[in-house]
Amino acid sequence: MRKGIEFNKAGFGRFGEEAYLRVKECGFDAVDFAMADTDDIYYTLPMEEACALLAHQKELAEAAGVSVHQVHGPWRWPPMDTTPEDRAERLEKMIRSIRMTKYLGAKNWVVHPIMPYTVEDLDNGMAEETWKLNIDFMQKLLAVAREEDVAICFENMPMLRFSLARPRDIMRVIDQMDDDHFVGCLDTGHVAVFPDEDIAEAVRTFGKKLRIMHVHDNSGRGDEHKHPYYGILDWKKYAAALKEIGFDGVFSLETLPSAKLSDSLFLEGAAHLAHIVDEILA
């Protein structure tokens, strides 16, 4: 199984045009490219200029022997999905992000559910409306994903009272969409915040629809993005479940050494993370 790691401006992006060389030297051969921030230049520049920048990133990655395996699409906290105008603006940014993904050479694009009735819709009686709006929204994105031959990877969430948070909730949407361009992203840390969820069972729930992953750990009290083994998850159990379903993609971390570290210590920490992955998969 290949090893991947998050790639953003505060992390490996600090190394500029040598960033992917540093990724490779630390023991990784794939990245999860961050395009979640809609105030970033990829969304504010004219489309042609943004795509040229992304194509250059692809060239740098390939020269270093690294692939951009997955792209994280737009995400805001707190969510801004309440009004039709909010959702239309979000949809426009997401469509742009899908279209830009191909310039990085990536085939996988991560999306969170929209949250039009707060993250506590299980308590306010709006879960069914959340479902309907998500199906409509995701179908519009799926039409674009088919055009670009990019897979939408629908991600489980860490909100305890949100109706589309757990792996089984995400799989309901994936089954409803019933398309090879709409698959799953399993976020391990998001599973860990649910005291009654089991990480191996989460893997089995996604099964063959598991395309990519966001790997990190936590204390069970929040979405802390700790390194594996620094929280409560059973990583050998997780690795065994991946083997059981025949997962052969990228073991992709969504955790990094602190951005406050010096360059040299950041790289030492990243190399240590690669060794942790090796231990998990051994």
Residue type, 80: M
* Nearest-angstrom CA–CA distance, 24 and 136: 40
Residues 6+ apart with CB under 8 A from 85: none
Residue 185: both structure tokens together = 């992203």
Count CA atoms closer than 13 A to 275's CA, side-chain side: 6
* 92-107 residue pLDDT tens: 999 999 999 999 999 9
* Nearest-angstrom CA–CA distance, 153 and 72: 9
Per-residue pLDDT of the chain (282 residues; tens, 9 = 90+): 999 999 999 999 999 999 999 999 999 999 999 999 999 999 999 999 999 999 999 999 999 999 999 999 999 999 999 999 999 999 999 999 999 999 999 999 999 999 999 999 999 999 999 999 999 999 999 999 999 999 999 999 999 999 999 999 999 999 999 999 999 999 999 999 999 999 999 999 999 999 999 999 999 999 999 999 999 999 999 999 999 999 999 999 999 999 999 999 999 999 999 999 999 999
What's phi and psi for 159, nearest 5 deg?
Answer: -90, 115
**pLDDT computed for residue 201 by the predictor:** 98
How many residues comprise the chain?
282
Q: Is 134 helix (H, G, I), strand (E, B) or coil?
A: helix
Residue type, 215: V
Residue 97 CB-density burial (10 A; 0-12 exposed, 13-18 middle, 19+ buried):
buried
What's phi and psi for 233, nearest 5 deg?
Answer: -70, 150
**pLDDT computed for residue 151 by the predictor:** 98
* Nearest-angstrom CA–CA distance, 282 and 154: 28
* Nearest-angstrom CA–CA distance, 259 and 91: 31
* 220-263 residue pLDDT tens: 999 999 999 999 999 999 999 999 999 999 999 999 999 999 99
Cross-strand bridge partners of residue 151: 108
**pLDDT computed for residue 71 by the predictor:** 98
* Nearest-angstrom CA–CA distance, 140 and 128: 19
**pLDDT computed for residue 270 by the predictor:** 98
Q: What is each CA distance from 219 to 40, 137, 224, 264, 274, in whole angstroms?
A: 31, 33, 8, 28, 21
Q: Is 142 helix (H, G, I), strand (E, B) or coil?
A: helix
**pLDDT computed for residue 106 by the predictor:** 98
